[in-house]
Each structure stands twice: as C-alpha cells, then as structure tokens.
Amino acid sequence: MQIIPLFIAVPLGAAFILAMLGKARHSLIDLLANIVTAFLLILAISVIGVKGTTTYSMGRWLPPIGIVLVLDGLSILMLVMVNLISFLATIFSISYIERFTAKAKFYAMFMLMIAGLNGVILTGDMFNMFVFLEIASIASYVLVAFGTEDEELEASFKYMVIGSVGGLFILLSIALLYGMTGTLNMAHLSQIIASKNFGIGLLFTSALLIAGFAIKAAIVPFHAWLPDAHPSAPAPISAMLSGVFIKILGIYTMMRILTNVIGIATLGRAWDIMLVLGAISMVAGGLLAIGQWDYKRLLAYSSISQVGYIMLAFGLGTPLGYLAALFHLANHSIFKALMFLNSGAVEYATETRDLQKMGGLSERMPVTGITSTVGTLSISGVPPFNGFWSKLLIIIAIVQAGRPVYAVIAILVSVLTLAYFLKVQRYAFFGKIKDTLMNIKEVPVPMCISLIVLAALCLIIGLDAFRIIQGTNASWFIRVMIEPAKEVLVNGTNYVKTILP
Amino acid sequence: MLIYVLCIILFAIGLYGIVVKKNLVKIIISFGILDYSVNLFFILLGYKRDGIAPIMMKGQDKAQFVAQAVDPLPQALVLTSIVIGLGITILMVAIAIRLYDKYGTFDVMKMRKLKG
C-alpha cells in the first residue's frame, strides 16, 4: 500500500514548512496545520477495515534487511486514535494558542510529535521504533516547556531527564537484542527468539524493555514526571500527551514487542509483573488524585490510574483481557482528551487552575460544563457512556481469568475515580458562581467544536456498546476497530508469518 | 568480557549521577555519560580484534572477509543514536540556561514550584 509512508512523511514535511512560516499571518498557519491534521485523519479513516497485514518496504529493501512499515489491526486502531485526537487538538489550538506568541513554532513541534507517534505505530523495525520514539519525545519536551514560565521549564527538565533515561533503557535493550540475535527487524527477531533458547539473557532484556516503556507510560514506580509535565503543557498538548502519547510510547510498544516479538510464553511467570504494576498504578494514581486542588494535576494523576487499568487488563493475557484493554485505551484517549481540553477551556476563561477559586462555571460556560459532565460520567464508568462498557469488560475479563482480588481493586478504584471527578464538578462547575468570576464568557467556537465532538463520541460509542449484551461482536465499534487489533495480540508470535513469507 | 563490565559500570555511574546529583549541569553531564555508555556498548557489539573495514575489495577471499570484517550495522545505528543524544543534550542545556535566568541558581533543591 502506497499511502502508508504518508502518515510519517506528511506531518514531517508540514513541520518543516511551518517552522519556516514564523512571520506569517496566524490565520494562514492555523489553516495549514488544520488541513494537515484533517488530511491525516481522513487517511487514518480510509485504512479502517483493511483486512490482514499490509507491509511497505522502505526503499524497496525487503524485510529482514530493510525497514518495513507494518499496517495491521493494532496499528489501524492506534492511527485512528492519534490522528483523531491530534485533529481535535489542532482545532482547539486555533483560539487557545493565541495567548502564546510563537504559533508557527508550536504547530511545527506538534507536527513533529505526530510524525513520531505515527512512526512508532507503523514501524516494523526495533531501532527505527527507538528513533521515532525519541522524535516524539523530544518534541513533547519542547512542548511541555512551551510557556517558558518557571513551572513549565522545571517540569520539562524533570520530564526530559526521566524520559531520556527511559529511552536509553530501551536503546540498551535493543543493543542486547541485537547482540543476541543479530537482527533488528521485529518479525525476524521473533523468529530467532522462538527458534533458540536465550534463557536469562532474554528475561533481563525484557525487564529493561518493560522498565523503559513503563517510564514512557508513567506506570507507578516510574511516574514521577507525569504529574508535573502534563499539567504544565498547553491544554491541547496535555490532551495529546495524556490522550495518546503515553499510550503509544508506553502501552502500544509494550504490547507490540512483548506479545508479538518476544512472546508471552517465553516470559513465563515473569509476565505477572504486568498485573502487579497495573494494580499499583491504578490504586496509587487514584489515591494521589483525590487530594489535588490543581485541576490539571488531578487529571494527570487520573491518567496514571486509568493507564493502570489498561495494563492490568493487558497483563491478564486472555483474549477478553486484550479486548478490554484496547477498548479502554481507545475510550480513555477520547474522554481524557476531552477532560484536558475542558480544563484548558476553564483556564482560558478564568485564568486559574485552582479548583478552590472556581465555582458555578456551568452557568456562564454551558458547553464546557455539559461536556465536562459527560467526561466525568464516562471516566467514572456510568452507563450509557463508553467508560462504563470498557470497565465492565475489564472486570469481567479479570473474573474470567480467575483473579478476583484484582477485580475488587478495579471496582474500588472506579468508585474512587467517581469521587475525585465529582470533586471537580462540585468545585468548578456546580453551585453558585463566585463574584470574581461574574465576567467570564464561554470559550470561542473552535474550542467548543472540539469539546462537543469528543463528548458526542463518548456518548455514541457508549450507546453503540449497548449491543455488547448480545456478544462483543454485535457492537459496531468493537467489531470494526477493536476486534482486528485484538486478533493481532491473540495471534502472538505468529506475527512473523504475516511479514516474512 | 572485562570491557563489557567496564561499560556497564559506566552506565551505572551515569545513572547514579542523574539520581543523586542536585546540580543541573552535573545532571546533564551524568546524562552524557549514560548516553555514551550505551553507545559504547552498541559499538562493542560489532567490534572484532584486528578487524578490517567492511568494504569488500576486488579479489578478496569471501570467507576471510566475513571472518575479519567488523559489523557495520552498530556503527550506523550509533551515529543515529549520537545525534539523538546531541539533540536531547542541547535541549537540556537550553532549558538549564532558562532556569538559571529565572532562579539564579543551578541547584535543583531551590526550584520547588512543583510539588506532590
């Protein structure tokens, strides 16, 4: 398929052009950036439903030697999520980024980040994945520091040091894998790993890989950077970072490499570490979130908690667990992006992030208020919104796998989630409006559009998922998007057969 | 074998520096050490004693060439990795300078706007 490289080439080219347009009029820059992200979204939607695995050999070098781009069910799901959220984030940025001076530079970095994310999703080569991962990470370090205030710089530095160490862990494990097998192509690697017994060396490499990706995904012992970095970034970037960034760089890469390249069977009992990490992040993230008074910081801790859910479901290693993990991943991208954009809208209108200084905002900002309520209900798992169904599937999957303790934890954390989001609603949106906030206005139209689209998606996916009762395949969203992605994970190390003939 | 152990010790020194040091510049230097230990490890994978450049000359014996030539792939990869490390280091230094402008110090303990 000839369109696969466009996912990387288009944003990369756009980043270059946007960087040149520093002095151009803002409307031109907005238009260009939005056209590019809209084009990428259309491309991503156009590949939905492509059956099986499609590969593209870069420079016509065939697989074990050259770099291949791989498009399968899992990559399609991730591509749609990344490009959907990035499109809505750029629409939101039209008004929001007016506060900052260097709009062209902002979009240039944004495009670089999308290029990196799409590259990580599509590549079939270990080292290439590392390169794209670092491209996306470096762009995100810059974007976190974009405001150049004290806090942003401090958060960015912290994020950069921890994130780069994570990157080096991944690089070291890639070096070890290359030393053991003599190849970097993922399919070929998987073939060699399956044919020989590497014993403890492979386990050590996997541990390094898990540590590296856990740093990128902010799983709890490695989470210290996230609550600083995500709130400090401008709101559209927070939405991107929490919505898709940690999931692509952490969870997706982990899924791809551990199931398709190394293979769960090879890891044996060491695999249970995923369950433990998931449960710890879930609980710790939730408990830390409840004490926060900073709106965006609370959301950042909630991201840690929700990523814990995804890890836990993925760690079960059962087909239903994979399905639930991917479904929750998709849902969480949507509602967490919505909530971060909401917080951006509130910040835009009131110029504060402190929940104690807010109150009664629903009265003055009906769109933000209603969409925030939708987001709250979704993330806390209230029917009919999408979060309910994915959490239900996760809990069913845990019970089916015979680990009831984790199911109880998942339910309790879900209650905790409702509690801290009700706190947001109570302090920011409900009640009587404060006198200091009498003059605030609803945010401009482009910001409202993003919010409404995301809230509508929460509801539509939730309503569609009602048909789960008749079996998971009855729901359109699960059948078309999640099921092919799950097949890739269930297929495990048979991944190699789809790429190397 | 010793050389790999030394390489891992270098890695540990870099990691120690990042975790323990409180000065931004020292953290950046530690990151440099960490980065280069990984690069060094990568290069060592392709290293052969008395190796020759992996360029096949006319009339060279194929089996002997394979036995002697160093592995060129790690060298190519390390070039990329060095560039990435360079990018990160530059960004770190740039942000450290901005932080110095704001706080007038490189001490991490005195930059405490963020908490929790």
More confident residue, A43 or A433: A43
Least CB–CB distance from B41: residue in A154, A155, A175: A175
Q: Does B92 touch chain A (CB under 8 A)?
A: yes
d(CA A412, CA A419): 11
pLDDT per residue as tens digits for the range B47-79: 888 888 888 888 888 888 888 888 888 888 999
Note the pLDDT of residue B115: 56
More confident residue, A380 or A438: A380
Note the pLDDT of residue A394: 93
Asked if residue A172 has pLDDT above 90, the reply is yes
Note the pLDDT of residue A133: 93
Beta bridge partners of A69: A56, A123
Q: Contact at 8 Å (CB) between A249 and A213?
A: yes
d(CA A393, CA A319): 11
Q: Test A178 with B38 for CB contact under 8 angstroms.
A: no
Q: Which residue from A minimizes the CA distance to B7?
A: A172
Least confident of A22-36, A164-178, A373-387, A427-441: A427-441
Asked if residue A359 has pLDDT above 50, the reply is yes
Whether the bond into A319 is cis, omega within 30 of 0: no
Asked if residue A303 has pLDDT above 70, the reply is yes
Least CB–CB distance from A157: residue in B41, B42, B92: B92
Note the pLDDT of residue A307: 93
Least CB–CB distance from B111: residue in A154, A171, A179: A154
- Helical H segments across A269-318, by residue range: 273-290, 295-316
Q: Contact at 8 Å (CB) between A215 and A222?
A: yes
CA A151 to centroid of chain Cα atoms: 24
Which residues, 6 or more positions from B99, have their beta carbon under 8 angstroms from its beta carbon?
A150, A153, A154, A157, B24, B106, B111
pLDDT per residue as tens digits for the range B80-96: 999 999 999 999 999 99
Distance from CA of B57 to the nearest CA of A (A): 22
d(CA A167, CA A152): 21
| E strand segments, A11-135 | 54-57, 68-71
pLDDT per residue as tens digits for the range A210-225: 999 999 999 988 888 9
Q: Contact at 8 Å (CB) between A371 and A338?
A: yes
Q: Contact at 8 Å (CB) between A2 and A79?
A: no
More confident residue, B64 or A205: A205
Distance from CA of A184 to the nearest CA of B (A): 10
Q: Test A153 with B95 for CB contact under 8 angstroms.
A: yes
Mean pLDDT of A289-314: 91
Mean pLDDT of A240-256: 92
Coil vs helix vs strand at A209: helix
Note the pLDDT of residue A150: 84
Q: Test A156 with B84 for CB contact under 8 angstroms.
A: no
Question: Which chain B positions have a beta carbon within 8 Å of A297's beta carbon?
Answer: 116
Mean pLDDT for all residues in chain B: 88
Q: Contact at 8 Å (CB) between A194 and A493?
A: yes
Q: Test A134 with B88 for CB contact under 8 angstroms.
A: yes
Question: Which chain B positions have a beta carbon within 8 Å of A228's beta carbon?
Answer: 114
Question: Which chain A positions have a beta carbon within 8 Å of B41's beta carbon?
Answer: 172, 175
Beta bridge partners of A68: A57
Q: Would the ipTM clear 0.90, i.e. be above it?
A: yes
Q: What b/e sequence results for B30-50 when a residue is b if at least 16 CB atoms lie within 10 Å of its CB, and e otherwise?
A: bbbbbbbbbbbbbbebbeeee
Mean pLDDT of A399-407: 91
Distance from CA of B60 to the nearest CA of A (A): 24
Asked if residue A63 has pLDDT above 80, the reply is no
Question: Which chain A positions have a beta carbon within 8 Å of B33's beta carbon?
Answer: none
Specify the residue for token string 């926060």. A292
In this prediction, residue A9 has a pLDDT band, given cuts at 50, 70 and 90, of very high
Least CB–CB distance from A151: residue in B15, B41, B114: B114
pLDDT per residue as tens digits for the range A473-497: 778 888 888 888 998 898 888 888 8
Mean pLDDT of A284-294: 90
Distance from CA of B24 to the nearest CA of A (A): 9
Asked if residue B30 has pLDDT above 60, the reply is yes
In this prediction, residue A82 has a pLDDT band, given cuts at 50, 70 and 90, of very high
Specify the residue for token string 């060298």. B75
CA distances for A205 relative to A254, A269, A317, angstroms: 13, 15, 20
d(CA B16, CA B39): 18
Window B:7-36, CB contacts with A under 8 Å: 11, 15, 18, 24, 27, 31, 34-35
Percent of chain A predicted with pLDDT > 70: 100
Mean pLDDT of B9-26: 92
Mean pLDDT of A176-200: 88
The full set of domains in chain B, from first to last, is 2-49+59-110 (1.10.287.3510)
Query: Among A387, A150, A419, A415, which residue's Cα sits nearest to residue A292?
Result: A419
Give the number of other CB atoms < 10 A from CB of residue A329.
Answer: 27
Mean pLDDT for all residues in chain A: 89
The DSSP annotation for A406-453 comes to: HHHHHHHHHHHHHHHHHHHIIIIISSPPPGGGTT--PPPHHHHHHHHH
For residue A462 the two structure tokens come to: 């939730």
Asked if residue B116 has pLDDT above 50, the reply is no
Note the pLDDT of residue B114: 62
Note the pLDDT of residue A272: 87
Note the pLDDT of residue A194: 86
Q: Which residue from B minimizes the CA distance to A288?
A: B116
For residue A368 the two structure tokens come to: 């933000």
